[in-house]
């Protein structure tokens, strides 16, 4: 299942420059998602992180994973015929086991791969990994809750 940035903006409330998913390239409802972000020198964060040596911040990588996880949760709920997701939003509950293994730089394609560890009611626990050129650059376990806006 391919979801482009126009449809992503129908699913998530985030907007540039804080929309951190450009495209979904695979999604299995209730199980997993694969998405990516093209990291460019145009990212506002590179003005200060770091001048002359641009590195994409780890917190932005984690947020991108979380946004991909939100897409997975909302599309899964839609497929299951659950309540209207247009009136819902995803809140972080915890970020555990976060590790950053290699820097991400302008020109990289940051690929997010997330799998469902547990889903019960409005709570989702996801195993998130981020790759550049098939090299693991970051990982974390994310817990989120779907709530009313």
Q: Give the residue numbers annotated as catalytic, written as ranges.
A: 49
- Cα–Cα distance between 95 and 64 in angstroms, integer? 13
């Amino acid at each position: 299942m391919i979801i482009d940035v126009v449809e992503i903006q129908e699913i998530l409330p985030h907007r540039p420059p804080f929309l951190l998913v450009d495209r979904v390239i695979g999604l299995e409802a209730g199980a997993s998602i694969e998405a990516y972000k093209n990291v460019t020198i145009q990212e506002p964060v590179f003005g200060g992180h770091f001048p002359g040596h641009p590195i994409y911040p780890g917190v932005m990588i984690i947020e991108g994973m979380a946004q991909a996880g939100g897409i997975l949760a909302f599309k899964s709920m839609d497929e299951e015929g659950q309540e209207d997701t247009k009136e819902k939003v995803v809140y972080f509950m915890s970020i555990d086991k976060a590790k950053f293994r290699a820097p991400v730089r302008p020109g990289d394609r940051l690929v997010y791969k997330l799998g469902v560890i547990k889903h019960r009611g409005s709570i989702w626990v996801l195993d998130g990994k981020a790759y550049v050129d098939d090299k693991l650059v970051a990982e974390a376990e994310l817990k989120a809750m779907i709530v009313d806006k």
